[in-house]
Amino acid sequence: MQKSQLQSSQKKISQPIEFGAYSEHVPGQIPSALKYATGRFMEQRAASLDELPDWEALRQAGSAIRLHTLENLDFYLEKLEQQVIAAGGQVHWAKDAADACEIVLELARQHAVKRAVKVKSMATEEIGLNHALQEAGIEVVETDLGEYIIQLMGTGPSHIVAPAVHLKKEQIAEVFSQEFGIEAPTDPVQLTAIARQALREKFLAADLGISGANFLVAETGTLVIVTNEGNGRMCTTLPDVHVAVAGIDKVVPDWESLSVLLKLLPRSGAGQKITVYTSFITGPRRAKDEHGPSEFHLVLLDNGRSRILQDPGGRETLKCIRCGSCLNICPVYRNVGGYAYGWFISGPIGAIFTPQILGVQQASELPFASSLCGACDEVCPVKVPITKILLHLRRRVVEGDGYELAVVAPPLRAAAALGRQALGTAWLYRLGGRLLPWLQIPWLRAGWLSKLPPPLNRWTKVRPLPAFQARFRKWWKRRQQVSTGDQP
Amino acid sequence: MKAQLFITCLAEQFFPGVLEKMVALLEKLGVEPVFPTEQTCCGQPLYNSGFQEQARQLAIKWLDTFSQSDLPVVSPSGSCVDMVRHHYPALFPPGTSEHSRAVDLAGRTYEFSEFLVHQLGQIDVGAVFPHRVTYHASCHLLRGLGVRQEPLQLLQAVHGLELLPLDGTETCCGFGGVFSVVYPEVSRAMLQDKVNHILESGAEAVVASDAGCLMNIAGGLHRVGSPVRAMHLIEVLASGINLD
């Protein structure tokens, strides 16, 4: 395994994200692995929702809690800060990714950290923390099995909750064989045992534990982490220092609100009533505690979130609780996989989050990476109006708005204006309808247009176009004349 | 009862037979159709491409055309009705005359199957179609308008029709308007999934309720040389009925 690969994949991206170019060459095993895995997630999800008396009411409550929190974010963040400090923790505010990395690096320097272990965290993927720590000579090991696998492969997560979901067990065995110099079996249980043994050593040797947060309870300053492998508890208990990096959107007002969101998250994500481990961490080890770090640091990351918050059209993006159900249901995601979306967050939520954080200049293709089918809106446990926000961002890309300038070149805008003229001028529209059946004749074969010249070939390369045959108006006119007794 | 026909640009260009049958069916059910000839496109292609300013111009044109009369509007397309019902009111600031016209028309514009079931109270229209049929739920009809059961109820009432389940019936076929040409390869993969499921269903015909899905699915079936027909719900409902 080439370590340079590992680093390069985690650098902050600066090139435009090319969803289209990637989608033309999706490795064949990705859709088949994804359809199998996400299909199972969705089946389990459906079963776990059936057990509840009223999923819709719970969704509505979850949505209301998230919206209320965002609308009063300043209040709850201050409260959170006070409570974390009261519990003996320290709070750091990071305005962007570089800022957040620097805060963690500084802490690592202060404690002469050599080895860090990590709980799966989207926020640290967002800021490229692994890369920053490795640059500083610190060993960083992901301890979630999926994250561990993709770290060994030198790639990022392809799914919010199941980072290695695009891989088949044979590929994982190959990665382990290379890494450990053994003939790794393809049996998932044995593969897990191999990883567990390797990770056990890392847990015991680590002097820094890094986590994200699923939720931050303002009322008591409590960090909530849900995992299925217990690695979260190991990372946050064994090393002497624990740093948690979390987006400012992760705060929830109180435990009552948390109870609603904890019902929604695991059920929606993987059809679990509750995750195997739910860790509640309030400050560092206290005098009477046997275990736990001597220091607890919370890095609160903005990185563009306050900007999103100011935009009424995009604000609800921040309601997301990262369950991954919008990926699991999305026919686009299931066919292209997470890497098509070019950053750590993928699927429908990635298509709206990334352009708002990185800007539409860099992510102009993502708002269009959807058929607007609305399946994501229907499964979202906190009712993020994803389709509506996609449309909002499409407008930002082509017309520009108060937040960013248009990306689309003036000729395309002129073409759209012409298109509007043609479609919106009744006589011109009718003339088009009459001419097209004649104009199409050179390409017409047995009622179909199978091969059209560019740019129309973008349709016909996939399927033929039915023949143009706008004859209804004539039919209607004749019918009216017949019924009123007029002679044609 | 009278109703204004909103024929939609795609159906007008590609599916005149569906429109003719819609007129005949409505008449048979005692509705006198009125056709506002100034209608063109509702603006959805531009709106969904992000050109909201351009789409607003087309919306005004559409509102001008259909607000001439107080009659309900009926259309063979769930996605065009979704545009009128849910996106038009959002295109204009509250308090403007366009906004109040948009809200008014949003409340009286119906997709064909919901018009039949809810406005006319018709489920069995007397159609006879002795074939194995499966149903693809068009996204904007299903999730935009929330019309889930109505087309199935109508199909189940067709005499001789055997309705077969379709795996992934509520999954998008890959059309998505501008999406199909912006990302043709992704659209292709989605269409292949849909075509495979249709072929696995054992149906002789697949029914959908939107011109976009029909163009896409019919084309996908044609490309693999399948004899399975892609039909609009209206075509099935008009089968076996003397409409002259």
What is the tens place of the pLDDT at every residue in A123-158?
A: 999 999 999 999 999 999 999 999 999 999 999 999
Closest C-alpha among A208, A218, A213 to residue A84: A218
Find the range with the poorest average confidence among A84-88, A287-291, B47-51: A287-291
pLDDT above 70 coverage of chain A, percent: 97
Nearest residue of chain B to residue A336 (CA atoms): B186
Does A459 contact B35 at a Cβ distance shorter than 8 Å?
no
Q: DSSP string of A348-369?
A: HHHHHHHHHHH-TTTSTTGGGS
Residues 191-220 of B with CB under 8 A from A: 191, 193, 215-216, 218-220
**Inside any domain, residue A357:** no
Whether the CB-CB separation of A383 and A63 falls below 8 Å is answered with yes
Cβ of B188 within 8 Å of Cβ of A462? The answer is yes
B55, B90, B119: which is the final residue of a domain? Answer: B119
The neighbouring-strand residues paired with A209 are A117, A242
Per-residue pLDDT, A219: 98
Selected for mutation to probe chain B from A373, A444, A452 (highest B CB count within 10 Å) is A373
Provide the shortest C-alpha distance from residue A16 to chain B (in Å): 16
- Do the beta carbons of residue A238 and residue A209 sit within 8 Å? yes
Give CA–CA dist B129/B232, Å, rounded.
13
**Residue A1 pLDDT > 60, yes or no?**
no
Q: Establish if B25 touches chain A: CB-CB under 8 angstroms.
A: no
pLDDT, position A289 = 85
Least confident of A22-26, A280-284, A410-414: A410-414
Q: Looking at beta carbons, which residues of chain A come within 8 Å of B55?
A: 420
Q: Is B54 on the interface with A (CB under 8 A)?
A: yes
Pair A114, A201: CB distance under 8 Å: no
Report residue A256 as tokens: 């009552």
Examine residue B127 and state whether it is found in any structural domain, yes or no. no
| B65: Cβ contacts below 8 Å, ≥ 6 apart | B36, B38, B39
**Tokens in use for A205?**
């040797």
**Distance of alpha carbon B242 from alpha carbon B127, whole angstroms:** 10
Contact A432, B41 (CB under 8 A): no
Q: Do B177 and A372 touch (CB under 8 A)?
A: yes
DSSP assignment of A428-472 equals HHHHHHHHHHHHTGGGEETTEE----TTTHHHHTTSPEEPP---H
**Same domain (yes/no): B154, B108:** no
Report CB contact under 8 Å: A420, B175.
Answer: no
Token readout for A50 is: 């059936």
For A426, which of B38, B144, B219 is closest by C-beta distance?
Answer: B38
Last residue of a domain, one of A307, A332, A356: A307
Count of CB pairs separated by less than 8 Å, A with B? 183
pLDDT in tens, A333-374: 999 999 999 999 999 999 999 999 999 999 999 999 999 999
The partner residue sitting opposite B184, judged by closest CB among A368, A372, A458, is A458
Q: What is the count of structural domains for chain B? A: 2
A251-252 and A215-217: which strand pairing?
A: parallel
- pLDDT score, position A163: 95
Judged against a pLDDT cut of 60, whether residue A279 lies above it is answered with: yes
Q: How far is B231 from chain A (nearest CA, A)?
A: 13
Contact B34, B72 (CB under 8 A): no
Residue A455, preceding peptide bond in cis (omega within 30° of 0): yes
Q: What is the CA radius of gyration of chain A?
A: 26
Is there a contact between B19 and B11 (Cβ–Cβ < 8 Å)? yes
pLDDT tens across the length of chain B (244 residues): 999 999 999 999 999 999 999 999 999 999 999 999 999 999 999 999 999 999 999 999 999 999 999 999 999 999 999 999 999 999 999 999 999 999 999 999 999 999 999 999 999 999 999 999 999 999 999 999 999 999 999 999 999 999 999 999 999 999 999 999 999 999 999 999 999 999 999 999 999 999 999 999 999 999 999 999 999 999 999 999 877 6
**Residue type at B36 in one-letter notation:** P
Are B53 and A368 within 8 A, CB to CB? no
In sequence order, the 6+-apart residues with CB closer than 8 A to the CB of A14 are A362
Strand duo A90-94 + B162-164: pairing: unpaired
User: Looking at the structure, do residues B114 and B7 belong to the same domain, yes or no?
Assistant: yes
Give contacts of B181 with chain A, Cβ < 8 Å. Answer: 455, 458-459
Q: Could you tell me the CATH number of the domain that includes residue A202? A: 3.40.50.10420
> Are B12 and B104 found together in one domain?
yes
- Residue A399, domain member (yes or no): no
Closest CA to A8 of A135, A175, A157, A178: A135
Nearest Cα residue in chain B from A368: B179
**Complex ipTM > 0.95:** yes
Co-location of B99 and B136 in the same domain: no
pLDDT band at A485 (very low <50, low <70, confident <90, very high): low
| Claim to verify: residue A303 and residue A414 sit in the same structural domain | no
Q: How far apart are CA A256 and CA B154, in angstroms?
A: 45
Residue recorded with tokens 């249980």: A189
DSSP letters for A26-40: --THHHHHHHHHHHH
State the pLDDT confidence band at A2, using cuts at 50, 70 and 90.
Answer: very low
Residue A222 tokens, joined:
């409590």
For A174-184, the pLDDT digits (tens) are 999 999 999 99
For residue A306, give both structure tokens.
């306050």
CA separation for the pair A266, B89 (Å, rounded): 36
> Does residue A228 fall inside a structural domain?
yes
Span of A5-14, A322-331, B29-38, B191-200 with lowest mean pLDDT: A5-14
Chain B CB contacts of A336 below 8 Å: 186, 189
User: How high is the pLDDT of residue A11?
Assistant: 47
What's the confidence (pLDDT) of residue A10? 43
Q: Give the mutation candidate from A35, A372, A387 for the B interface (greatest B CB count, under 10 A).
A: A372
- Report pLDDT for A12: 56
**Domain of B79, in residue numbers:** 2-119
Among the three residues A252, A282, A307, which one is the final residue of a domain in this structure?
A307
Residue B233 lies in a domain: yes
Q: Tell me how far CA of residue B21 lies from CA of B29, B74, B76, in angstroms.
A: 12, 13, 11
Q: How many Cα atoms are found within 13 Å in the side-chain-facing hemisphere of A5?
A: 9
The per-residue pLDDT for A7 is: 34
pLDDT at A488: 46
A427 shares its domain with A303: no
Looking at residue A287, its pLDDT comes to: 87
User: For residues A465 and A436, what is the distance between their CA atoms, to the nearest angstrom?
Assistant: 13
Instruction: Please check whether residues B115 and B137 belong to one and the same domain.
Output: no
Residues 6+ apart with CB under 8 A from A53: none
CATH code assigned at B168: 3.40.50
Does B188 share its domain with B212? Answer: yes
Calpha distance B81→B66 (Å, rounded)? 13
pLDDT given for residue A13 in this prediction: 67
Residue for token digits 């009411």? Answer: A57
Question: For chain A, what is the mean pLDDT?
Answer: 94
> How far from chain centre, in Å, is Cα A336?
14
Domain boundary among B119, B148, B180: B119
Domain contains A366: no
For residue A371, give the nearest of B176, B184, B218 by CB distance. B176
pLDDT at B242: 79
Q: Is the pLDDT of residue A173 over 80?
A: yes
Q: What pLDDT, on the 0 to 100 scale, is given for residue A216?
A: 98
Q: Residue B125: inside a domain, yes or no?
A: no
Task: Give the domain range for residue A478.
Answer: 410-484
Answer whether B57's CB lies under 8 Å from A424's CB. yes
* A487 has pLDDT over 60: no
Domain boundary among B56, B84, B119: B119
Structure tokens at A464: 């033929």
Tell whether B51 is within 8 A of chain A (Cβ). yes
Q: Output the pLDDT for position B22.
A: 98
Rounded mean pLDDT of A64-68?
98
Q: Which long-range contacts (CB under 8 A, 24 or more apart) does B87-91 make?
A: B87/B44, B87/B47, B88/B59, B88/B62, B88/B63, B91/B47, B91/B52, B91/B55, B91/B56, B91/B59
Q: Is B176 on the interface with A (CB under 8 A)?
A: yes
Burial class from Cβ neighbours inside 10 Å (0-12, 13-18, 19+) for residue A93 reads middle
- Listed in sequence order, the residues at least 6 apart from A366 whose beta carbon sits closer than 8 Å to its beta carbon are A17, A19, A341, A342, A350, A351, A352, A354, A355, A393
Q: Do A302 and A424 fall into the same domain?
A: no
Q: What is the DSSP string of B30-85?
A: T-EEE--TT----SHHHHHTT-HHHHHHHHHHHHHHHTTS-S-EEES-HHHHHIII
Instruction: Give me A446's structure tokens.
Output: 């047995």
Coil vs helix vs strand at A283: coil
Q: For residues A445-467, give the mean pLDDT.
A: 95
Give mean pLDDT, residues A72-82: 98
Contact B23 A394 (CB under 8 A): no
The residue from A278, A307, A336 where one domain ends is A307
pLDDT band at A4 (very low <50, low <70, confident <90, very high): very low
For residue B243, is it within any domain? Answer: no
Q: Which residue, among B212, B207, B213, has the nearest Cα to B232 in the 3D structure?
A: B207
Chain A nearest-CA distance from B49, in A, is: 6
A429: which chain B residues are within 8 Å (Cβ-Cβ)? 9, 40-41
Pairing type for strands A90-94 and A115-118 reads unpaired
* CA proximity to B45, closest of B146, B179, B147, B216: B179
The pLDDT value recorded for residue A5 is 33
Are A288 and A430 in the same domain?
A: no
Same domain, B6 and B115: yes
Residues on chain A touching B189 (C-beta within 8 angstroms) = 26, 31, 335-336
**Are B230 and B217 spatial neighbours (Cβ–Cβ below 8 Å)?**
yes
Average pLDDT rounded to a whole number, residues A457-485: 93
Interface mutation vs chain B, best among A398, A472, A479, most B CBs within 10 Å: A472
Give yes or no: residues A279 and A417 share one domain.
Answer: no
Closest-CA distance, A302 to chain B, in angstroms, reads 28
B171 inside 8 A of chain A by CB: yes
- Number of domains observed in the structure of chain A: 2
Q: Closest Cα partner for A327 from A313, A315, A341, A307?
A: A341
Nearest to A73 by CA among A308, A353, A377, A392: A308
Strands of the sheet containing A444-445, edge to edge, are A444-445, A448-449, A465-466
Q: Helix axis angle, A145-153 relative to A169-180, nearest 10°?
A: 70
Q: Which residues contact A48 (CB under 8 A, 6 or more apart)?
A: A267, A271, A272, A273
